């Protein structure tokens, strides 16, 4: 538990400015918050190429006090296996470990890297923390959404093969049921191989899909600690056989909002907004359908996120579906975050997938905005229906419109919901708690298995201000667990 500065290596699947979704932004914020505490922080992130730069080469730059190593990876996978187990990415990681000799490795994501990285760090005797930002551990498509938009409640085994191929989606459930029979995998692979060279290729693809079910969960089991921003995701990860004592609930820290950027809605909400990527699984098309007719009531809808209808067919469809009162604002800089939220009366998060813990919801709470969210995944625990926001069935445009009309028609509702917004963990608080976790892992004895095997048989949570709100269920603090 020495107070000496630590060398922290964070591994991410992307990093700003090339990638700026929730997990990438969190990685950046945590890196700088740890650096502000006096630690040496290196970020190792996958990056698209610059010109003809070869794959699996590194380039280095500095972002203030944070050192950033970017590994070029074009994602031109020759087979499915390379999407989760890539020896060339492992070689890059091994070289960085040898050259940098970090004290601890914090994996923000293994996507675009390799599930073997955790074992490599462990073999080097390094403590490992693995952050779960989404459902990649259970689903190769990440969102557990099939190409036809249907949600999967669990990993579908052999059914995942049809989903990844994008064909035969009507047979996903039937293929999954085949897995109950002994030898079904071998029979399925043999059946695919009977049709010649094409069949043999498909059989190899099928084996890659099934092998992923072992390789990716094994990486999560190998980590000393897995951090989950939501209890909903934690419960799903535990179905993979992870030790519940080492799968911890931990809020994602946010930078503070400047006092001048805070606002409190007065009167009915008329300026609705969406913030994030404009992607099908985010349900933006559902929001456009729900907004139809609301412009006649004086409402507006701001869609804030990268928008390129010339290249993205989904964006083109959104542009065609947008009616009066809808404005596509495009992407915005992080420094403009407060101004964006300050121009809204309510935020809408109409996701169709099992969201983990979207930063936009907590950013809205920071700005004292009411939120309307889908009644799904981590959004259920993030928003208390009728207290600090409203929840509606996912994909139900009529129900979403009724919720928006409530904020239009009930003059005091928006202000009442906004006033009940919970406290939000700051980056500084998150970094302090994360540093404490790093030091505990460094102080724990190293063994063949992950550290902290002596923790009590119950989860513990990194303390956050959110639990102090009225009516929130209390979770044990680190000190209470030790006692």
Instruction: Note whether 191 and 241 are same-domain residues.
Output: no
Record the tokens describing residue 409, joined without a space. Answer: 């028609």
Q: What is the pTM of this model?
A: 0.85
Instruction: Note whether 184 and 331 are same-domain residues.
Output: no
Among residues 129, 124, 133, the alpha carbon closest in space to that of 99 is found at: 124
Instruction: Note whether 6 and 98 are same-domain residues.
Output: yes
Distance of alpha carbon 388 from the chain centroid: 22
- Give the range among 32-36, 76-80, 85-89, 318-322 with minimum mean pLDDT: 76-80
3-state secondary structure of 58: strand
For the chain, what percent of residues have pLDDT higher than 90?
A: 69
Among residues 254, 248, 251, the alpha carbon closest in space to that of 441 is found at: 248
Residue 263 confidence (pLDDT): 57
Q: What CATH number is given to the structural domain containing 107?
A: 3.40.50.2000
Mean pLDDT of 206-210: 90
DSSP tally for the chain: helices H, then strands E: 17, 14
Instruction: Note whether 483 and 413 are same-domain residues.
Output: no
Instruction: Note whether 319 and 447 are same-domain residues.
Output: no
Q: Domain tally for the chain?
A: 3
Euclidean distance between CA atoms 300 and 327, whole angstroms: 8
392 sits in which H/E element: strand 389-392
Q: Please, are residues 87 and 120 in contact by the beta-carbon 8 Å criterion? A: no
Instruction: Note whether 143 and 163 are same-domain residues.
Output: no
155-185 residue pLDDT tens: 999 899 999 988 889 889 988 888 877 666 5
pLDDT band, very low/low/confident/very high, at 428 (cuts 50, 70, 90): very high
Q: Please, are residues 111 and 136 in contact by the beta-carbon 8 Å criterion? A: yes
347 sits in which H/E element: strand 346-349
Cβ neighbours, 10 Å, residue 462: 20
Average pLDDT of the chain is 87
User: 240-270 burial string, b = 16+ CB within 10 Å, else e?
Assistant: bebbebbbbbbbbbbbebeeebebebeebbb
| pLDDT over 80 at 481, yes or no | no
Instruction: Note whether 146 and 4 are same-domain residues.
Output: yes
Where among 419, 450, 470 does a domain terminate?
419
Record the tokens describing residue 218, joined without a space. Answer: 């094994």
Cβ neighbours, 10 Å, residue 391: 21
Q: Please, are residues 217 and 87 in contact by the beta-carbon 8 Å criterion? A: no
Q: Please, are residues 477 and 462 in contact by the beta-carbon 8 Å criterion? A: no
Domain, as residue range, for 176:
159-212
272-300 residue pLDDT tens: 999 999 999 999 999 999 999 999 999 99
Instruction: Note whether 343 and 361 are same-domain residues.
Output: yes
94-147 residue pLDDT tens: 999 999 999 999 999 999 999 999 999 999 999 999 999 999 999 999 999 999
Spatial neighbors of 391 by CB under 8 A, at least 6 apart, are 372, 373, 374, 375, 379, 380, 383, 385
Q: Please, are residues 420 and 371 in contact by the beta-carbon 8 Å criterion? A: no
Record the tokens describing residue 431, joined without a space. Answer: 């970094």
**Which residues is 41 bridged to in the sheet?**
8, 66
């Amino acid at each position: 538990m020495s107070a000496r500065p630590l060398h922290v290596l964070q591994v991410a699947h992307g990093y700003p400015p090339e990638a700026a979704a929730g997990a990438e932004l969190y990685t950046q914020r945590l890196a700088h918050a740890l650096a502000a505490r006096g630690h040496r922080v290196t970020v190792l992130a996958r990056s698209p190429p610059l010109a003809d730069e070869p794959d699996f080469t590194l380039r280095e730059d500095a972002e203030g006090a944070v050192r950033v190593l970017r590994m070029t990876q074009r994602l031109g996978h020759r087979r499915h296996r390379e999407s989760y187990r890539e020896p060339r990415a492992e070689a890059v990681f091994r070289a960085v470990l040898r050259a940098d000799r970090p004290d601890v490795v914090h994996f923000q994501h293994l996507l675009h890297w390799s599930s073997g990285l955790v074992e490599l760090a462990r073999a080097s005797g390094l403590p490992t923390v693995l952050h779960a930002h989404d459902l990649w551990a259970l689903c190769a498509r990440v969102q557990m959404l099939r190409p036809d938009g249907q949600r999967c409640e669990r990993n579908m085994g052999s059914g995942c093969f049809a989903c990844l191929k994008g064909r035969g989606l009507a047979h996903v459930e039937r293929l999954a049921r085949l897995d109950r029979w002994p030898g079904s995998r071998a029979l399925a692979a043999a059946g695919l191989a009977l049709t010649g060279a094409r069949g043999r290729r498909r059989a190899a693809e099928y084996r890659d899909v099934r092998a992923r079910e072992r390789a990716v969960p094994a990486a999560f089991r190998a980590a000393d600690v897995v951090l989950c921003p939501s209890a909903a995701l934690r419960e799903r990860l535990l179905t993979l056989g992870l030790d519940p004592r080492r799968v911890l609930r931990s809020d994602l820290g946010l930078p503070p909002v400047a006092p001048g950027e805070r606002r409190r809605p007065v009167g009915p909400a008329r300026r609705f907004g969406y913030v994030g990527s404009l992607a099908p699984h985010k349900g933006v098309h559902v929001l456009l359908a729900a907004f139809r007719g609301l412009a006649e009531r004086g409402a507006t809808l701001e869609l804030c996120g990268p928008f390129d209808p010339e290249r993205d067919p989904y964006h083109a469809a959104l542009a065609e579906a947008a009616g009066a009162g809808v404005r596509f604002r495009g992407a915005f800089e992080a420094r403009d975050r407060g101004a964006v939220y300050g121009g809204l009366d309510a935020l809408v998060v109409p996701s169709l997938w099992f969201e983990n813990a979207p930063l936009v919801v907590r950013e809205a709470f920071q700005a004292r905005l009411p939120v309307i969210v889908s009644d799904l995944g981590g959004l259920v625990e993030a928003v208390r229906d009728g207290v600090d926001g409203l929840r509606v069935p996912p994909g139900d445009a009529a129900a979403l419109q009724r919720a928006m009309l409530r904020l239009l028609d009930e003059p005091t509702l928006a202000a009442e919901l906004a006033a009940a917004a919970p406290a939000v963990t700051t980056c500084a608080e998150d970094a302090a708690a994360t540093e404490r976790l790093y030091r505990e892992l460094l102080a724990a004895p190293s063994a063949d298995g992950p550290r902290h095997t002596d923790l009590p048989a119950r989860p513990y949570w990194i303390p956050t201000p959110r639990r102090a709100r009225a009516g929130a269920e209390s979770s044990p603090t680190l000190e209470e667990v030790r006692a």
